Amino acid sequence: MKTVLGTALMSMLLISSAMAGEMQGKIKSIDMKKHMITMEDGMSVMTRPEVKLDHFKPGEHVKMMIDKDKMATAVESMK
């Protein structure tokens, strides 16, 4: 029983960490009202409300930290 619980716990930890991560690319557009960044590859990512987007612009290469809810928690320029 301990082995089953240990395996289940490890699986849950691996799945939750696999869902969070980092994403890089060029910005295609930014919707300030929806807190949404659309990348040139077509992927759209919502950002947490506390992420400031006003200093980013289309064409800029950025790196985003993505949480387990698939939302960006941080965005930084990759100059």
Helix (H, G, I), strand (E, B) or coil at 69: coil
Mean pLDDT of the chain: 85
**What pLDDT is recorded for position 12?**
56
CA 66 → CA 4, 33, 38, distances in Å?
30, 19, 14
CATH architecture observed for domain 21-77: Beta Barrel (2.40)
13 vs 54, higher pLDDT: 54
What are the extents of the domains in the chain?
21-77
Of residues 34, 27, 8, the one with CA closest to residue 75: 27
Q: Could you read off the pLDDT of 56-70 as tens digits, one per residue?
A: 999 999 999 999 999
- The Cα–Cα gap between 19 and 11 comes to 12
